[in-house]
Amino acid sequence: MQAGWRRETQSLSAPRPTNYARSLFHFASAAVGLTTVALLPAHPGVILAIALTFATYAWSMEIGRRVSPRMNAWLMRLYAPVAHPHEANHVNSATWYATALVFLALFASRPATMAGLAVLGVADPLAGIVGRRWGTHTLRAGRSLEGSLTFVVVGAAVAAIALAFTDGLSPGRLACFAVLSGVTGAFAELFSTRLDDNLTIPVAVGSAVTLAASLV
């Protein structure tokens, strides 16, 4: 989700309306991704092949709509319920999500991948809703303290649920990785002003959990 819990910096009293269809799309994408990673064979080549297929399709669409204005207009109409207007001239958030899946498949462990997908798919849109409706304390680039705290709490909760489906994690390690996921995802969103958070959040969470697992 490009804006996350971002609110317009010019006016906190007039936040951008919440796109609930886009939020539901985030939830569905996370559910599909988590189910795929959980049920497929653990061999990293399988996950990588699927991620590359998805990314190839997404980037092909990006190239095609740059070459053909008619294709771009058709795709924007097709995905109008879940697209932001600025995506007509910029790389779509779904394309960045597909790119993140490739990075996760290459460098992140299976539990870390599941945590990253869960945090992006659930914590990000819920924090966006809270930030736009009730956020009053601005942190930076329009993000609110209320949205950030929501991200940390929800991110830790959904990461814990995702990690619970993996083997070999003690309750203590699971709790530590879950909190790390929520905090890392919140910071990734907070500082994602130049890069799309559909890329930065899952990659940051996946990298943090993978690194932490190798150290403890």
Reduced 3-state DSSP string for 177-189: HHHHHHHHHHHHH
- The domain limits of the chain are 20-215
pLDDT tens per residue, the chain (216 residues)?
444 434 333 333 345 567 778 888 878 888 888 888 878 766 778 889 999 999 999 999 999 999 999 999 998 888 888 888 888 889 988 899 999 999 999 999 989 999 999 999 999 999 988 988 898 888 887 788 999 999 999 999 999 999 998 877 889 999 999 999 999 999 999 998 888 999 999 999 999 999 999 887
pLDDT of residue 7: 37
pLDDT of residue 16: 56
User: How many other C-beta atoms are found inside a 10 Å radius of the C-beta of residue 69?
Assistant: 10
pLDDT of residue 11: 38
Both tokens of 186, joined, read 């919140």
List 45's β-bridge partners, or say none. none
Q: What is the DSSP letter of 4?
A: T
The length of the chain is 216
pLDDT of residue 10: 37
> Which is nearest to 105 in space by CA: 31, 26, 59, 46?
46
User: How many other C-beta atoms are found inside a 10 Å radius of the C-beta of residue 86?
Assistant: 8
Beta carbons within 8 Å of 196's beta carbon, 6+ residues apart: 2, 91, 93, 96
Dihedral sign for Cα atoms in the order 73, 89, 144, 154: positive
